[in-house]
Chains A and B, each alone.
Chain A
Amino acid sequence: MRLTPWLAAAALAALAGCAQIVKVEPGQVTVKEALRLSTTSAWNRFELQFPLSVAPGASEVWTQDGVTLDALAFFVGIAQGETLGRAIGGKKLPQFRSTLTPGEIVELYEQMVTQDGSAFALKRIAPGRFGGQPGFRFEYTITRKSDSVLLKGVAQGAVVKDKLYLAAFTAPSIYYYDRHLPQVEPLLATAEIIAR
């Protein structure tokens, strides 16, 4: 059963011709030397070399079945004045400020994922914890412009020492979201912000 996702990911990489897949082994993993996670299952880390509408400019993107089917994106240590993700196609993105409310941080996320014309809808946002710190959690849908597929997503974030840490999991609402969520939730619960 491990073969199928690898094949799918490899095929995607071959199609793209410019991306590389690196296996994330079970155990302790650190993203950008600032966010530590413990994973019990293997993931595929997608080395981005082209804009990806669900997470352009993410620090890292992990996937099980391929990034168009499930994508767990990490944005680590976004500092004052930086954008969440990268602008694509000549668009402009708003800047992060450490005083933003969680609602305004969702707006940063929305602006990033709708650059290609996709439609975003916030379903729920509530206080929560992320990386061992007080933060927030939000659920959303994205209607992907390229193929009209309805995606579901859940994100957790926190602002620590004026920097933003955010993890967002996005997958088609049919099958893939529910298939991978049981792995994503416990994984994110292990997150620890270890930035200096």
Chain B
Amino acid sequence: MQRRPFLLGCGCLAFAAAAGVRADEYDYQAPPRFARPDLGTDEGGLWAFMDREEQRLKRSSFLLRDPALHGYVNGIACRLAGDHCPEMRVYLVRTPYFNASMAPNGMMQVWSGLLVRMQNEAQLAAVLGHEIGHYLQRHSVERLRDAKSRSSFGLIVGMALGVAGGGSLGTLAQMGILASSLAYGRDQEREADRIGIALMARNGYAPAEAGRVWGQLLEEYEGAKAAGEEVSSTNILFASHPPAEERREVLAAAAKRDWPGAARMGADEYRAALAPHRMGFLYDEVRRRRFGESLVLFDRLLKSSPRDGQVQYFKGEVYRLRGSEGDAKLALEAYRASLAMDNTPPEAHRALGTVLRHAGDNDGATRAFQRYLELKPDAEDAELIRSYLTGSAS
């Protein structure tokens, strides 16, 4: 811990220490603490709206209510936010898409689809730092005023309120729509990127990971395109102005500056913190049926952790669920490979049995199902699997 003094306390020292060392666009000074705006002002109205959304989010069954993981992510966000930490409340949400957002009232959401995609703590810090940058510069208030001056305010508020009125979409979807109707401008994104990388580096994180986040998203996008999958217009890559390629390059260049002591990756800590939830996150990921994207993601995770039987099993699941020509063989290979790795879930045996059964290898299927039942005798489908073994069901 001695070699990472920035991580002690709440980062306020970090700001003071960095001030005066370099005077340029990356030498960011956070504004003083924010007070709650008067309800009569436009900003107060925006806060009140977000407060109501936050109340709904707090009740949502999709919130991950694990104190350990929450404490871990909250701790990172808090150090990045420095003095502003007490203004912030972090919510982890089970939604399998890449997203993090921070509302002007201090409500930060981090989705599980983002958590499963980050390789290490530094990458997560890069994304959180970027969102905190928007917050510290009060970009959403700027955006609101800009929209008002262009007389589209009524439309935006109407949309936001209409959606919040309890349409068929849930709170999180509403937040997405609200966020896009108040989408940040090009210059705001650039500023948040600069602040984000400065905050992460001052807290000791390797700044090169910021550009890699965008690089990874671009690879997944290429994977989806190659697989002939439509890329939704809500995809973060399309919503991003400036484009993802530019952000990747600018961030990579910024990382090459002199950032004293900024080398921390935190890959092991990150993996350990996510471990209790990773099965669920990966399960949700494959059920998006974005097979091209998932395969790129899984190959990347396997590259950094080649004996990860969990990821290898889900790679098999991608092939099995996709079910295209030749996929049965690929699934079979993936399941077999996973069973020679570490931390492989018992479900890999069941999946192997299912694929072998379809291939007509009844002996192989029987052995796999038996192994599954040995490992998970109280499985929710134990009765069904037993019936396969006794031949009492088709």
Please give the residue numbers on chain A whose beta carbons come within 8 Å of chain B beta carbons, in ascending order. Answer: 53, 90-92, 94, 99, 101-104, 107, 110-111, 114, 116-117, 119, 122-127, 134, 136, 143, 145-148, 150, 159
Question: How far is B60's CA from A145's CA once the two chains are assembled, in angstroms?
Answer: 9
Do A119 and B94 contact each other (CB < 8 Å), given the known contacts A125-B380, A127-B392, A145-B173?
yes
What is the number of residues of chain B that contact chain A, defined by CB distance less than 8 Å? Answer: 31
Which of B59, B289, B394 contacts A111 (CB under 8 A)? B289
Residue in A closest to B350 when the chains form the complex, CB atoms: A103
Are the CB atoms of B289 and A92 closer together than 8 Å? yes
List the B side residues contacting A145 at CB < 8 Å. 62, 169-170, 172-173
- Dominant secondary structure at the B interface: loop
Are the CB atoms of A148 and B170 closer together than 8 Å? yes
List the A side residues contacting B357 at CB < 8 Å. 101
List the B side residues contacting A99 at CB < 8 Å. 358
Are the CB atoms of B60 and A107 closer together than 8 Å? no
Q: List 22 A-B contacts (CB under 8 A).
A: A53-B168, A90-B230, A90-B232, A92-B289, A99-B358, A101-B354, A103-B354, A110-B287, A114-B287, A116-B168, A119-B62, A119-B94, A122-B380, A124-B383, A125-B383, A126-B384, A126-B387, A145-B62, A145-B172, A145-B173, A147-B166, A148-B170
Are the CB atoms of A102 and B393 closer together than 8 Å? yes
Shortest distance from the beta carbon of A171 to any chain B beta carbon, whole Å = 16
A-B CB proximity, top 6 nearest: A126-B383, A148-B61, A127-B393, A145-B170, A127-B387, A143-B61
Do A127 and B383 contact each other (CB < 8 Å), given the known contacts A107-B321, A117-B95?
yes
List the B side residues contacting A143 at CB < 8 Å. 61-62
Question: How far is B316's CA from A134's CA once the two chains are assembled, in angstroms?
Answer: 30
Residue in B closest to A150 when the chains form the complex, CB atoms: B61
**B9 on the A face (CB < 8 A):** no
Question: How far is B167's CA from A116's CA once the two chains are assembled, in angstroms?
Answer: 13
Q: Mark B357-380, 1 if CB is under 8 A from A, else 0.
A: 110000000000000000000001
Give 10 A-B pairs besides A91-B289, A125-B380 with Cβ atoms closer than 8 angstroms.
A92-B289, A99-B358, A102-B393, A117-B170, A119-B62, A124-B380, A134-B393, A145-B62, A147-B166, A148-B60
Q: Mark B108-139, 1 if CB is under 8 A from A, else 0.
A: 00000000000000000000000000000000
Do A148 and B62 contact each other (CB < 8 Å), given the known contacts A107-B321, A127-B392?
yes
Question: How far is B381's CA from A107's CA once the two chains are assembled, in angstroms?
Answer: 13
Which residues of chain B from 319 to 366 have a CB within 8 Å of any chain A CB? 321, 323, 350, 354, 357-358
Question: How far is B383's CA from A162's CA once the two chains are assembled, in angstroms?
Answer: 24
Are the CB atoms of A117 and B289 closer together than 8 Å? no
Are the CB atoms of A159 and B394 closer together than 8 Å? yes
Shortest distance from the beta carbon of A193 to any chain B beta carbon, whole Å = 15
List the B side residues contacting A107 at CB < 8 Å. 321
Are the CB atoms of B384 and A94 closer together than 8 Å? no
Residue in B closest to A121 when the chains form the complex, CB atoms: B380
Residue in B closest to A91 when the chains form the complex, CB atoms: B289
Question: How far is B94's CA from A92's CA once the two chains are assembled, in angstroms?
Answer: 21
List the A side residues contacting B323 at CB < 8 Å. 94
Question: How far is B287's CA from A91's CA once the two chains are assembled, in angstroms?
Answer: 11
Residue in B closest to A136 when the chains form the complex, CB atoms: B384
List the A side residues contacting B62 at CB < 8 Å. 119, 143, 145, 148
Are the CB atoms of B95 and A122 closer together than 8 Å? no
Residue in A closest to B321 when the chains form the complex, CB atoms: A94
Residue in A closest to B353 when the chains form the complex, CB atoms: A101
Are the CB atoms of A127 and B384 closer together than 8 Å? yes
Residue in B closest to A95 when the chains form the complex, CB atoms: B323
Do A146 and B168 contact each other (CB < 8 Å), given the known contacts A92-B289, A94-B323, A125-B380?
yes
Question: How far is B123's CA from A45's CA once the two chains are assembled, in angstroms?
Answer: 52
